[in-house]
Amino acid sequence: MNALLLAALLCSGLDFGGTVAGVYPVGSLNRHHGSSALLGAAAGWTTGAFRFELGYGYASLPGRQSTPYRLSFHLPRAGVGWSPVRQPGWGLEVGANTGYAFGRRTFGSGVEQGNAALAELGLIFVQPSGRSRLSVGFWYSNLIENGTGTGVVLSPMLSLRAGVAYVP
Amino acid sequence: MFRRLLPLALLLGLGCSGMLFFRSGEDYFPLVRGSLWKFLAGADTSYFEVTGDSSVGGQVCTVVLVDYAPEFWLKRSGTAEIRRFYHRTLIRGGEEYELEARYGLRYLLPFVEGDSWAETFRDTVVVLGSDTIHYRHRLECRVAGVEPVSIPAGDFEQCYRLEFTELFEDEDTTVTAFTEWLAPGVGLVRRVSGTDELVLADYRIGP
């Protein structure tokens, strides 16, 4: 009985769905890379003004030239959001994520792989409606690497991220 | 919140390897006007300096003085290629014949380990009215690795090692193999060709 109650409580704030985004490399990454779409999925749990999310995204940035160069990365992430503004039918959320980037560069016969930590900050417009939850957010992401001699290096990106989730 | 997450991300970052995204954003061949590189070649000193733009071979190019002798380079935004102007002539019977006058592919950006490129130029030149010379110039390059380089100018991380083979064929055939190391934000830091070695001693990027 208690387990059922707990399950019901947990499921009450649960949602899961897909995300799509436009990713724009800024800073140093902007030198050789153009923008790209990011596709992903996310599952969230809302309690009060807070929302916890697990998500995943994949993007493949093209080179700035007409060559077969690509910089692709998988981005698993976990994050938390807080809603300072909650109105009937809409709300604003401030989000912060952390995660990992698994990257791969390919150009001709060349392949390189590497990882980086991920830190993100976002401002999201949310519109819950019935069993769906729509969101559109502006995110500032940083890929963080730490190398010998180079120290901590940040590679920033901006993204406009939209999501639709099913609320059971 | 960001301050709380950043240390966590940094901790995760400590376990990272590869510096892939760092290399992805770096300029490994900065041709910025006013830049100066001082190299040591044994007991000799060699200076490379970007002096400005010019028009050579019908193209607007960047002039690099190598020990006061001009080299002409093409590096355009939006293209992956960096090209150098090759001008080779042959003197026969007191007359000069042009074998090659064109921008040849030198680097293909961005560098990715394992990538390679090659370009061949061929021409047929008639000299002294009857002799035919079949001219061929081929440059091959392979991005052989990423490694640190320690030289008099300092310690450079995340350098690409490029292995070149260059062939010139006219009446004779000359094949030269050389290796270059290019550092992020600096460019050429070391070149080895046979027993000759050129190492960067000092540099300045930009005016």
- pLDDT tens readout for residues B16-75: 558 999 999 999 999 999 999 999 999 999 999 999 999 999 999 999 999 999 999 998
| Cross-chain Cβ contact B24/A100 below 8 Å | no
ipTM of this predicted structure: 0.90
Q: Would you call B112 and A110 a contact, using CB atoms and an 8 Å cutoff? A: yes
Tokens of A76: 């698993």
Measured between alpha carbons, how far is A158 from A141 in angstroms, rounded to an integer? 6
Establish if B147 touches chain A: CB-CB under 8 angstroms: no
Helices (H) and strands (E) in chain B, counts: 2, 12
Q: Please, are residues A79 and A96 in contact by the beta-carbon 8 Å criterion?
A: yes
A112/B148 touch (CB, cutoff 8 Å), yes or no: no
How many other β-carbons are positioned within 10 Å of the β-carbon of residue A143?
30
* Contact call for B155 and A145, based on CB within 8 A: no
CB A143 within 8 A of CB A23: no
Decide if B194 touches A, using CB distance below 8 A.
no
Q: Is B7 helix (H, G, I), strand (E, B) or coil?
A: helix
Full pLDDT tens readout for chain B, 207 residues: 555 555 554 555 555 558 999 999 999 999 999 999 999 999 999 999 999 999 999 999 999 999 999 999 998 776 789 999 999 999 988 999 999 999 999 999 999 999 999 999 999 999 988 889 999 999 999 999 999 999 999 999 999 999 999 999 998 999 999 999 999 999 999 999 999 999 999 999 987
Cα–Cα nearest to A105, from B10, B27, B114 = B114
Give the mean pLDDT of A76-103: 95
> Rounded to two decimals, what is the model's pTM?
0.89
Q: Tell me which chain A residues have a C-beta less than 8 angstroms from the C-beta of B2.
A: 96, 119, 121
Where does the pLDDT of residue A90 fall: very low under 50, low under 70, confident under 90, or very high at 90 and above?
Answer: very high
Q: Map out the domains of chain B as residue ranges.
A: 10-204
